[in-house]
Amino acid sequence: MANSRFEYVKQFEQSDSLLPNTWIVIRVDGRGFTKLCAKYKFEKPNDRRALDLMNNAAKAVMAELPDITIAYGVSDEYSFVLHKTCTLFERRASKLITTIASTFTSYYIHLWSTYFPDTPLSPPLPSFDGRAVCYPSVQNLRDYMSWRQADCHINNLFNTTFWSLIQLGGLDAKEAEKLLAGTLSADKNEILFSRFKINYNNEPEMYKKGSVIFREYELVEPGSHNVAETIDDVAEPVKQSKTQDENDRKRRNKARLVINHLDIIKDDFWDRRPWLLS
Ligand code: ATP
Ligand code: ATP
Ligand code: MG
Ligand code: MG
Ligand code: MG
Ligand code: MG
Ligand code: MG
């Protein structure tokens, strides 16, 4: 009931609406996943099932929230980009962060058995923290995305070399760490190749580049399985106009979501998909 003598407590709530007309990035990150990896015996350095699970939980979040224009995931984290014109929850940070983190967590748990059919979950259950950051320019946003993908590359090269030394080279964790201390990328590539005949370039794209999810406007033959590769070939630059912007907004709800493992640091990815940042 309104107007009770208790209602004044509502005024203690603080406004937390995020700066208008800025790109909002909400990043969720698995809580204590170092432990969780050990508990469920994730393959090191990359457990494909766990990455597929992350990707499909993120895809489900995007399907429920059309304001998300693109998402990027690596390891136990996912970054969701809300369009700068987004007005969901009056841009209140706590609402946006908790909705995305809890929707993501729900799907992660819901989909778990699809990817780990023989390993049931038990408490403590997986959970994800979240944070929001506003980026005022497309360049800032692109630099954010580049930062995460560069981080993915650096970590994956390190982890691939580290775990090769252990799994194939018979070193223990301390020895591997010591051997890698102070090494540059070129040194790690060299260790991988000379010791284990591993060409880092041939490692799976998902491990090297992480995963990007976005809305694709060009329709592909239904039933086509390898959507990721096919889609990239058919995406053509599109000229944008005011009415087209309006149409895009409507179509965003209908557009299909694709998961891909492309370079998002270079211009090409963005140049070919102008609707993502317009
Ligand atoms: P925090 O709660 O502070 O985030 P954390 O243990 O989750 O703690 P992170 O920095 O987020 O720490 O690191 C996540 C860990 O989970 C890393 O060690 C990463 O290698 C591991 N990890 C995440 N996903 C996978 C995967 N698919 N396969 C193997 N290891 C993974
Ligand atoms: P929002 O997303 O803005 O929170 P909402 O529809 O969830 O929208 P609330 O103000 O949170 O709106 O109201 C929750 C509604 O759910 C209320 O109408 C409440 O009566 C109903 N509800 C919640 N729990 C129960 C329950 N256990 N039994 C019956 N009704 C419930
Ligand atoms: Mg964290
Ligand atoms: Mg974590
Ligand atoms: Mg992490
Ligand atoms: Mg309520
Ligand atoms: Mg409610």
Q: How far is CA 231 from CA 31, 225, 236, 242, 272, in A?
A: 33, 11, 10, 26, 11
3-state helix, strand, coil in the chain (%, to 5): 50, 15, 35
Domain ranges of the chain: 15-153+205-276
Query: What's the rounded Cα separation, in Å, for the pair 108 and 73?
Result: 14
Query: What's the rounded Cα separation, in Å, for the pair 116 and 128?
Result: 19
Joined tokens for residue 263: 């370079």
What are the backbone dihedrals phi and psi of residue 78, each rounded to the nearest 5 degrees, phi first?
Answer: -140, 135
Query: What's the rounded Cα separation, in Å, for the pair 245 and 62?
Result: 19
| Secondary structure E strands in 45-96 | 68-74, 77-82
Query: What's the rounded Cα separation, in Å, for the pair 209 and 261?
Result: 6
Closest atom, ligand 1, to C-alpha of 77: 11
Complex ipTM value: 0.94
Reading across the β-sheet that carries 23-30, which strands appear in turn? 128-135, 23-30, 77-82, 68-74, 211-216, 256-260
Residue 240 gets which letter from DSSP? -
Say how many Å lie between the first and final Cα of the chain, rounded.
44
pLDDT at position 227 is 41
Closest atom, ligand 1, to C-alpha of 33: 7
pLDDT at position 3 is 83
Closest atom, ligand 1, to C-alpha of 45: 29
Joined tokens for residue 155: 């970590």
Counting ligands in written order, the one closest to the CA of 79 is 5
Low-confidence ranges of the chain (pLDDT < 50): 219-237
Q: Is 51 in the pocket of ligand 1 (CB under 6 A)?
A: yes
Query: What's the rounded Cα separation, in Å, for the pair 45 and 50?
Result: 11
pLDDT at position 221 is 39
Q: Are residues 276 and 69 in contact, defined by beta-carbon separation less than 8 angstroms?
A: yes
Nearby residues of 232 by Cβ (< 8 Å), 6 or more positions away = 260, 262
Q: Is 138 in the pocket of ligand 1 (CB under 6 A)?
A: no
Query: What's the rounded Cα separation, in Å, for the pair 259 and 53?
Result: 12
DSSP reduced 3-state for 104:
helix
**Lookup result for tokens 């987004």:** 86
What are the backbone dihedrals phi and psi of residue 205, each rounded to the nearest 5 degrees, phi first?
Answer: -60, -35
Q: Is 29 in the pocket of ligand 1 (CB under 6 A)?
A: yes
pLDDT at position 236 is 47
Query: What's the rounded Cα separation, in Å, for the pair 172 and 169?
Result: 9
Taking the centre of ligand 2 as the mean of its atom positions, its distance from the CA of residue 1, in whole angstroms, is 15
Q: Is 42 in the pocket of ligand 1 (CB under 6 A)?
A: yes
Closest atom, ligand 1, to C-alpha of 34: 6
Residue ranges in 89-183 assigned as alpha helix (H) = 93-115, 138-167, 173-180
**Lookup result for tokens 């399985």:** 225
> What's domain 15-153+205-276's superfamily in CATH?
tRNA(His) guanylyltransferase (Thg1) (3.30.70.3000)
Q: Is 126 in the pocket of ligand 1 (CB under 6 A)?
A: no
pLDDT at position 1 is 57
Ligand 1 atom 25: residue of nearest CA: 75
DSSP reduced 3-state for 35:
helix
